[in-house]
Structure 1
Amino acid sequence: MLQANGLRKSFGDLEVLRSIDLTVRKGEVVVLIGPSGSGKTTVLRSLNGLETPDGGRLELLGGPALDFTGKVSKSERFALRNRSAMVFQQHNLFPHRTVLQNVIEGPVQVQKVPKAQAVAEAEALLERVGLLEKRDVYPFQLSGGQQQRVGIVRALALKPSLLLFDEPTSALDPELVGDVLTVIKELADEGWTMVVVTHELSFARAAADEVLFMDGGVIVERSDPRQMFTNPRHERTRQFLDRILNPLHEDD
């Protein structure tokens, strides 16, 4: 489904990505973990065309291969973005539009889906996540967890080949995290192709086909969840997991 080779990205003198290689097969869930500032979000934004890498190559099934060593056109970036959809940390819903209007915006305005069809499909998706009765309310009238579920529905409404999640539970109260993760896990079980950035290691254990640990703009280690969480090979991975799983641990 997705093949990325040698992706590089710098912001000024700060090298954020250093030759990232990533393969995602159809129906696979790849989870990225790592400390803040390790480059995880920049990877996602590069896969979606929101960031343009300084080098490397990217190909998403059904579209042109993009070579970032040369100039990439706006239409090529749009073609990449049109085949994927991202769920953001902060929901990013339009505050002046109802839940239904938020969901149908992309299909109607970008993909030119007939409005009646877009509404019917949006209502089916909202019912699936338990929010059909909220179709005519505004985002400020929803809890954070409900807003994030609307964000997921908005992404699904675009019928993307690839779903991207950027720490989808990081802005939520702890008691709301489970509802959102349950929806994402159900999508994984249904065979959606996904790349997920998260600190929720229990989700990574349960849903991921492959876990990648990033630090300093590189992929330090990649393996299946069992290997990653029970016997990581790299010392930096072990340090990170120990700090996440044992936050009150004190060094000798």
Structure 2
Amino acid sequence: MTETQQNLRIRVRGLEKSFGDRHVLRGIDFDSPAGTSTVVLGASGSGKSTLLRSLNALEVPERGSVAIGEVEIDFAGLPAGRAGRKKTGELRAQSGMVFQAHNLFPHRTVVENVVEGPVVAQRRPREEAVADARALLEQVGLGDRGDTYPFELSGGQQQRVGIARALALKPKVVLFDEPTSALDPELVGEVLAVITDLASQGWTTVIVTHEIRFARQVADQVLFLDDGVIVERGTSDEVIGDPQQDRTRRFLSRILDVG
């Protein structure tokens, strides 16, 4: 493995995914160096969320490969049964996922929600996991809310708990699937501020979002997807500031006009 390859936290080659006769991903290739933020843009149905979910094998492509650090899956050669589940589990353990809906356990406190994964899935000592959880809640601006319940929090606060829950697993990368789409507009900013702070700390992130101004601020790399293909890629200044493809220009014009 070359020095350049070692610096690639995420490496994706030839991803193909279909649902029935609908071809959703059509040969996706991209790299994300360690410590960078990749933002994925595109209209609804373009394959953004399927791509993100393929990075941790929540969706299993028919062909192609995903590597996060030293863990790699060639999906075409994925074995059936227990061996295949073990392999996808190894890949999934490399990332933390923040979904559109925060899906917190309503009958457990905020701290209990954050420690669930480390204690149950990773079998870490509970005392250690609780200490880490409280530190992470402090990091996302909720240090005083650890002993409250989700119903006592706003939607933005609940999503920030979701971010702390993903970080508690000590992942190599963090994946965000439109993390503000379910929030009231006035709550979006507080969640985006936390994600921006994570990016500035050197976390490797992949973010699916429609928040174009946020994307321009946080992205080291922008991928624009259309019909399962990366139509345009580059820095945020290149793809958002000076897009070369007509499809990208039309998308950005429509989104920015709505904004």
Q: TM-score range by the shorter chain?
A: over 0.9
Alignment partner of 1:12 out of 13, 20, 25: 20
Structure-1 residue corresponding to 2:4: none
Name whichever of 90-99 and 217-226 sits farther off: 90-99
Deviation (angstroms), 1:159: 0.8
1:247 Cα deviation from its structure 2 partner: 3.1
Asked if residue 217 in structure 1 is aligned to residue 228 in structure 2, the reply is yes
Partner of 1:69, secondary structure, is: helix
Structure 1 residue 66 and structure 2 residue 73: aligned? Answer: yes
Q: Which residue of 1 aligns with 2:163?
A: 152
CA deviations 1:142-193 (Å, max 9, x no partner) are 1100000000000111110010000000111111111000000000000000
Deviation at 1:113, TM superposition (A): 1.0
Query: Aligned to 1:27, which of 35, 41, 47?
Result: 35
Corresponding residue to 2:150 among 133, 139, 144: 139
SS in 2 for 1:116: helix
Q: What letter matches 1:138 in structure 2?
A: Y
Distance 2:108 2:45 in 1: 33
Establish whether residue 188 from structure 1 lines up as the match of residue 195 from structure 2.
no
Q: 2:86 is matched with which residue?
A: 75
Partner Cα separation in structure 1 for residue 89 and residue 67 of structure 2: 13
Letter of the 2:77 counterpart: G
> In the aligned structure 1, how far is the partner of 2:114 from the partner of 2:97?
13
Matched, 1:127 2:138: yes
Asked if 1:89 is matched to 2:100, the reply is: yes
Q: Deviations over 1:98-137 (max 9, x none)?
A: 1111100111111111100000010011112221222122
Q: Residue 54 of structure 1 aligns with which residue?
A: 62
Q: Distance in 2 between matches of 1:239 and 1:3?
A: 29
Query: C-alpha separation between the residues in 1 aligned to 2:70 and 2:200?
Result: 23
> Aligned equivalents of 2:253 and 2:39: distance in 1?
18
Partner of 2:120: 109
Distance 2:108 2:132 in 1: 18
Tell me how far apart the structure 1 counterparts of residues 73 and 138 of structure 2 sit (CA, whole Å): 37
Secondary structure in structure 2 of the residue aligned to 1:137: coil
2:11 matched to 1:3?
yes
Alignment of 1:162 onto 2:178: no
Cα distance in structure 2, aligned partners of 1:71 and 1:150: 34
Alpha-carbon distance in structure 2 between the residues aligned to 1:60 and 1:93: 27
- Alpha-carbon distance between aligned partners in 2 of 1:103 and 1:186, rounded to the nearest angstrom: 19
For residues 68 and 93 of structure 2, the distance between their equivalents in structure 1, rounded to whole angstroms, comes to: 11
Cα distance in 1, alignment partners of residues 143 and 65 from structure 2: 41
Aligned pairs for 1:228-247 within 5 A = 228-247=239-258
Distance 1:131 1:189 in 2: 19
1:71 Cα deviation (Å)?
Answer: 2.6
Name the SS of the counterpart of 2:202 in structure 1: coil
| 1:98 correspondence with 2:109 | yes
More displaced 10-residue stretch of structure 1: 67-76 or 188-197: 67-76
Q: Which amino acid aligns with 2:68?
A: L
Q: Tell me the TM-score normalized by structure 2.
A: 0.93
> How far does residue 245 in structure 1 lie from its aligned partner after superposition?
1.1
Gaps of 5+ in 2: 1-8
After TM superposition, which residue ranges in structure 1, 4 or more long, deviate above 3 angstroms? none
Give per-residue Cα distances to partners, 1:55-106, cap 9 Å, x unaligned: 011111132x211112341001000011101000011212222111110011
Runs of 5+ consecutive residues of structure 1 not aligned to the other structure = none
- Matching residue's letter, 1:96: H
1:20-51 alpha-carbon deviations (Å, 9 max, x no partner): 11211100100000101110000111001111
In structure 2, give the amino acid aligned to 1:171.
Answer: A
